[in-house]
Structure 1
Amino acid sequence: MLWAALLVLPGAGCKSEAAEPTTQPEAPAATYLQSSTLLGEYSTSAVAARVSDIPFVGALAKYPIKVYRLTYRTHDAAGKEVTASGALLVPQVAQALPLLSYQHGTISPAQEDRAPSYYSSRSEIWSAMSVLAANGYIVSAPDYLGYGASKALAHPYEHAATLASASADMLRAAREFCAQQKVTLNKKNFLLGYSEGGFATMALHKLLEEQHASEFTVTASAPGAGAYHKTAFAKYILESQEPLDFLSSYVWVLRTYNQVYGLNRPLTYYFNQPYATQLQSDPFGNVPKLPAQLFTSQLRTSVLNGTDQVLLAAFQANDIYDWQPKAPLALFHGTADDYVPYFNSEDAYKAMQARGATQVELRPIEGGDHFSSAATYTLGAYAFISQYY
């Protein structure tokens, strides 16, 4: 039903006749963009065929698209300049179009080919984002650090600052590419992403509005199922007496913060034996489901009673739920999410309202878990941003 609704929403086929101001000056010298490679050209029927199992969705493909792999300059968590990459999907239509930044979900190192710049059938952008591009959005899809051109680096998992900066610099590279190729942009910028991509989308929205408002105006964003309230999430995990199915992801977050924030503690501080030794040799190995089995009593006690100020400061640096967005923002989240609990979006909604945000919506996906909610999120997010096309 949501897909059917999209067919009659503005921007989902019927384009406004009103002229949009453009950002199409003479192409400047590239500051961020390093290289571009054409990965392929796809007809509307080819794009539609990828979603043929979902009724009505293929009808959203209005324009053929070209897909490029961009490499661009950005910075790592220590401020060092590095080369990153991403995919840029460009509809082939002669009118000014908006940019849409799509932040992908969690990709393990073993899933490198799922990064957007590979544009493989295993990538999130292969089907759904291609349809969105074929509907009239120029889609910028950063790989983040740790994938694609920067795969030699460790991915800074759930680190808000580098997820946001890598995504923002990809947008800058996309603008430079469009200027070089005479692709006309209007001034609208949309943001989407689910799971780690939801967290990255929220971080990017916050960064653009608070630090780069003169450069980018966020038109609307729709983050889904992100871990926005890191401090509360950490305490939820460490005090849980129930089995948790996704502790390996939380191990990854701890390893990232241990390195990025210079804590450099031995793994034995965080994890009981034999798991500390096992994780030292295989960081993505299996771990037990019970938090008390995996995490040391020292870690659990010091976080829960507030005495580990250094680690708590790292969590707080990644709390991105409590701020005042100006652009329309819809928070999508499954109410039965046992991977990233629903309270992350609920806390963000309440905190933003308390700060005076007037265009924030909470969109619960009733009974949905982290994975079953993904399709509903995608449909709802498309419908939400289409109102502002």
Structure 2
Amino acid sequence: MLLPNFHTHLARLSLLLLVGLSTAAGSGCTKEAATPQPAVVAPAAPQPHLISSTLIGEYSTSTLAGRVADIPIAGALVRYPIRVYKLTYTTLTTDGKPVTASGALLVPVAGTQALPLLSYQHGTIQPDEEGRAPSYYTSGSEVWSAVSVLASAGYIVSAPDYLGYGASKALPHPYEHAASLASASLDMLRAAREFATQEKLPLNQKNFLLGYSEGGFATLALHKLLEEKAAAEFTVTASAPGAGAYHKSAFADYILTSTQPLNFLSTYVWVLDTYNRVYGINRPFAYYFNPPWAAQLQANPFSAVPTQAAELFTPGFRQGILTKTDAAMLAAFRANDIHDWQPKAPLALFHGTADDYVPFFNSQQAYDAMRARGASQVTLRPIAGGNHFSSAPTYTLQAYAFISQYY
């Protein structure tokens, strides 16, 4: 049962799951390619995955409870002291080259009992918010209070930075690129398991997945990768993605046909730039964006853009997507459509029904497609009347309750 003041109590707890929602773009290039290059599907990274581990800090139960003293629901979950480590590990870039990445590992001090792994995928972080990535745990202790509580409740939490943050910050973050979000998260799990073996931390072979917004998209991409490519290494016990843009092709049509103001268009600039670069399409910004926005975004990818799609996007780009003649970009969208497959493990799709950043149809269509394929353990969990921000507190509690059934 939810407490009457649930949204108030969990508003700050939800910061973890939002950790930066949606922002803007990167840089345009010049040479156009006929078709996208194939997406990376995370072959095993070179051994060993784990490169180094550094203890960031040790936190008592009283310290953890004090951080969330004004959030009774969160405080009640505090059970064990925790240790927080920064891990560096080997993963692959979007073009398949080895690179050193990083993340945070939060370990309950729980004696000799075997504990489960929980992979937490964070939400959007702008490049100028580098310090909010998981491996900078100490600089964002307020934001990371909730994930600390999850660890204190008895989960070993693996929190990848993704490419473009932490140890790999010299790379551009491949925003909303399913393959690299999933592979960076999987390789962090591999490094976490190696660390557990090295430190003689017993694991019980249960693996849980959580994340909201871009983290929700990354969570579902990771779930798919684990079951389809890494089932011999990890078995998904349960996953609970929230408010992800799972159906990129339908989302593109929604944006480009909309006549309503869309406050998230700066994030779509980032998505287009990522796909333009990662899939070798390499068109100039002037192909996608009307003047003066093309030149403005070329100079400052995170500058403000209009809220009307017709004002921002060129007629040629819009026509190519809507008439299904832009083969290169349509293929890039399809490569990031992760809504239509058959998961085996219990999966709960959480989404606010009034989400005006990532529309609810993303989760509805994922649920419909998965059920049609025979996925009997998929459930849709609408958050009635919730938008992208107000739904996060509800997601926080309900997602935790969902995975706790399988602890």
Aligned residues of 1:114 and 1:124 also touching (Cα < 8 A): no
Verify the 8 A CA contact 2:56 2:138 in the aligned structure 1: no
Shift of 1:162: 0.1
Residue number in structure 2 paired with 1:363: 381
Corresponding letter in the other structure for 1:48: A
Distance, in Å, in 2 between the alignment partners of 1:316 and 1:204 is: 17
How far is the alpha carbon of 1:59 from its aligned partner?
1.8
- Which of 263, 272, 275 matches 1:254? 272
Alpha-carbon separation, structure 1, partners of 2:110 and 2:364: 40
User: Compared with structure 1, are the counterparts of its residues 133 and 233 closer, same or farther at alpha carbon in structure 2 (3 Å cutoff)?
Assistant: same
Q: Within 1, Cα distance between the matches of 2:262 and 2:67?
A: 34
Residue of structure 2 in register with 1:201 after alignment: 219
Letter in 2 for 1:163: L
> C-alpha separation between the residues in 1 aligned to 2:216 and 2:358?
11
Instruction: Check conservation: 2:216, 2:242, Cα contact below 8 A.
Output: yes
Shift of 1:121: 5.7
**Who is 2:284 aligned against?**
266
Amino acid at match of 2:387: D
Q: Which amino acid aligns with 1:141?
A: A
- Is the 8 Å Cα contact of residues 81 and 109 (structure 2) preserved in structure 1? yes
Report if aligned partners of 2:131, 2:139 keep a CA contact under 8 Å in 1: no
Partner of 1:280: 298
In 1: Cα distance, 2:94 partner to 2:297 partner: 23
Matches within 5 A, 1:122-161: 122=140, 126-161=144-179
What amino acid is the match of 1:31?
Answer: P
The letter of the residue matching 1:96 is A
1:74 is matched with which residue?
91
Question: What SS class does the counterpart of residue 279 from structure 1 fall into?
Answer: helix
Query: What is the one-letter code of the residue matched to 1:65?
Result: I
Structure 1 unaligned segments of length 5 or more: list them.
5-28
| Structure-2 residue corresponding to 1:232 | 250
In structure 1, C-alpha distance between the alignment counterparts of 2:311 and 2:240, rounded to whole Å? 36
Give the distance between the partners of 1:369 and 1:120, measured in 2 at CA.
Answer: 30
Residues 98-150 of structure 1: per-residue CA shift (max 9 Å, x gap): 00000000000111111000014646861111001001000000000000001
Q: How does 1:367-382 map to 2 (within 5 A)?
A: 367-382=385-400
Which residue of structure 2 aligns with residue 388 of structure 1?
Answer: 406
Select which of 319, 323, 331 maps to 1:305: 323
Distance (whole Å) between structure 1 residues aligned to residue 138 and residue 57 of structure 2: 11
Tell me if the contact between 2:67 and 2:142 (Cα under 8 Å) persists in the aligned partners.
Answer: no
Asked if residue 292 in structure 1 is aligned to residue 316 in structure 2, the reply is no
Q: CA deviation at 1:3?
A: 7.7
Between the two proteins, the alignment pairs up a number of residues equal to 365
Aligned to 2:58: 41
In 1, the alpha carbon distance for the partners of 2:143 and 2:151 equals 10
Mapped to 2, the partners of 1:130 and 1:62 lie a distance apart of 11
**C-alpha separation in 2, matches of 1:212 and 1:124:** 34
Q: Residues of 1 paired with 2:270 and 2:119: CA distance?
A: 25
C-alpha separation between the residues in 2 aligned to 1:324 and 1:99?
A: 23
Identify unmatched segments of 5+ residues in structure 2: 5-45
Q: Against the structure 1 CA distance between its residues 50 and 132, is the aligned structure 2 distance closer, same or farther, given a 3 Å change threshold?
A: same
Q: CA deviation at 1:54?
A: 1.4
1:26 corresponds in structure 2 to none
Identify the residue that residue 243 of structure 1 maps to in structure 2: 261
Residues 38/378 of structure 1: CA separation in 2 closer, same or farther (3 Å cut):
same
Residue 14 of structure 2 aligns with which residue? none
Distance change in 2, residues 1:235/1:124 (3 Å): farther
Matched with 2:68 is: 51
String of CA shifts for 1:298-323, please: whole Å, max 9, x gaps: 01111001000110000000000000
Q: 81-90 or 120-129, which moves further after superposition?
A: 120-129
Q: Distance in 2 between matches of 1:44 and 1:225?
A: 31
Distance 2:150 2:280 in 1: 40
Paired with 1:284 and 1:123, the residues of 2 have a C-alpha distance of 26
**Structure of higher RCO (CA pairs closer than 8 Å, 6+ residues apart):** 2
Asked if the contact 2:342/2:370 (under 8 Å) is kept, the reply is yes
Partners of 1:125 and 1:191 in 2: CA distance:
19
The answer on whether the counterparts of 2:132 and 2:140 sit within 8 Å (CA) in structure 1 is yes
Alpha-carbon separation, structure 2, partners of 1:124 and 1:297: 44
Three-state SS of the structure 2 residue aligned to 1:119 is: helix
Q: How big is the shift at 1:372?
A: 0.5
